[in-house]
Structure 1
Amino acid sequence: MVGEDGKLVNTVPLKGGYFEMKLPETFFASNPKSITLNWIDFYR
């Protein structure tokens, strides 16, 4: 999780920042045209 200031944060809920995900290189080995990410927002 990255806060508004660009620094890593550990507090939830995240306000004004974003989530960053690192995916393994093998995920892109077949050069996919797109990927789909399903997100479950369990804080609502």
Structure 2
Amino acid sequence: MSERIVINTGPLIALGRMQAFDVIERLPYEFRCPPQVENELLTGAALCE
């Protein structure tokens, strides 16, 4: 079983700007995104539209 890691908004935004989300899939970890982080990302995306 892989180690679980909680990820926050900053690294997700950085990976998105670099178009590098595939990096997460190659790492030997299971990343968790809390609901608060998901809400932050969705709110930020809505503001950019």
Q: Same fold (TM over 0.5)?
A: no
Q: Which has the larger radius of gyration?
A: 1
Structure holding more strand per residue = 2
Please give the TM-score of this superposition, normalised by the length of structure 1.
Answer: 0.29
Please give the TM-score of this superposition, normalised by the length of structure 2.
Answer: 0.27
- Asked which structure has the greater RCO (Cα within 8 Å, sep 6+), the reply is 2
Structure holding more helix per residue = 2
